[in-house]
Structure 1
Amino acid sequence: MAPLPPSTDPIDALLSAHGLRRTAAARQVLGWLLAHPDTSYTHAQLQVALADDTDAALDRVTLYRLIDRLTQVGLLLCRVDSQRVRRYQAMPTSVHAIPHFECQSCHRDSPLAGALKANANDLEKAAQTALETLAALGYQGMSMDFAVRGVCVDCATGTAAPEVAAGPAA
């Protein structure tokens, strides 16, 4: 069987560069998450979003396997919140740490990159230094997750929380 020709599609290129097959399902999942970089999804939320987005729905097991493979090669960031719910988000190759706030009450997961804009370079440098130090010690396949946990403003003040793309913990 002849090897596939090089692809100009950036999603295909990412999959190939990370040693993954360029299947329609892999392109669909990675494409969706890359198109929504500031949102983390549970498995169930991602399955619903993908079903709404296309005619061909992925079965639950295929989606689990794809998420697992994409996470193992560093294309996805997997976070486990305080309720032990796994949330997945695209991991840009240029980013070494994705800061986020997790509300202990409503379990919303909010990116903090905008809020920390003035200090984002310092955070990125600190993450890069930590990863380089660990790599020098022999650690491999690392990513960094900066999670701040507490109670969001909406829960603290008792105001109704606006609907967010990440939705409730599933």
Structure 2
Amino acid sequence: MASSIPPSDLTADPIDALLSAHGLRRTSAARLVLGWLLAHPDTSYTHAQLQMALLSDTESALDRVTLYRLIDRLTQVGLLLCRVDANRVRRYQAMPSSVHAIPHFECQSCHRDSPLAGALKTSANDLERAAQTALEALKALGYQGMSMDFAVRGVCADCATGTPGLAS
């Protein structure tokens, strides 16, 4: 897809450059959604949570169908990670290009989704190597467009101890 925007203008805005590099149109909606998720890299959002967050942060609202189609396209090209939790709820998060597996903990009581990168920092390199090895093996078999999800499910410390207010 040829762009009428000079290459020097694309590098001025990294979000536009990402969208173009992945073959997507640089619409205001695409810039808004990708920009929001990149600004909040450690948070995963449901469709409804993302719609509310965008609405509270800007005066322009995206209708739910437009947002759904946009996050679907962003996920298909690998800019977003889509996880399905234990309750079959889809959650979306920015997918850094250097990451092949994002470890996270899903609480089965409060349904909070917490990144585990900090807790697993001593094992993060081992996890990354294992994910890369698995993805390379699948690629050799002809699989394409892959990402890996590493989810641990259980009850978080706040819910286990009954600490009020922290789990909500």
Normalised by the length of structure 1, the TM-score is 0.93
Q: Deviations over 1:21-46 (max 9, x none)?
A: 00000000000000000000011110
SS of the counterpart of 2:53? helix
Deviating 4+ runs (over 2 angstroms): 1-6
Is the 1:76–1:89 Cα contact (8 Å) retained in structure 2? Answer: yes
Instruction: Show the counterpart of 1:140.
Output: 144
Equivalent residue for 1:28, pick from 26, 32, 35: 32
Secondary structure at the counterpart of residue 118 of structure 1 = coil
Ranked by relative contact order (alpha carbons within 8 Å, sequence separation 6 or more), the top structure is 1
Partner in structure 2 of residue 3 of structure 1: 4
Q: 2 CA distance for matches of 1:155 and 1:2?
A: 51
Question: Are 1:59 and 2:60 matched, yes or no?
Answer: no
- Aligned partners of 1:136 and 1:22: how far apart in 2? 33
Give, in whole Å, the separation in 2 of the partners of 1:120 and 1:2: 39
Partner of 1:112: 116
| Cα-to-partner distance string for 1:4-58 (whole Å, 9 max, x where unaligned) | 3221211111101111000000000000000000000011110111111111111
Q: Is it true that 1:92 corresponds to 2:96 in the alignment?
A: yes
After superposition, the C-alpha distances for 1:59-113 in whole angstroms (9 at most, x for unaligned) are: 1111001000000001000111111111000000000000000011111100000
Whether the 8 Å CA contact 2:158–2:167 is kept in 1: the answer is: no
- Does residue 73 in structure 1 map to residue 74 in structure 2? no
- If the length of structure 2 is used for normalisation, what is the TM-score? 0.94
5+ residue gaps, structure 1: 165-170
What is the identity, as a one-letter code, of the residue corresponding to 1:156? A
Q: Which 10-residue stretch deviates more, 26-35 or 2-11?
A: 2-11
Gaps in structure 2 of 5+ consecutive residues: none
Alpha-carbon distance between aligned partners in 1 of 2:166 and 2:56, rounded to the nearest angstrom: 22
How many aligned positions are there? 164
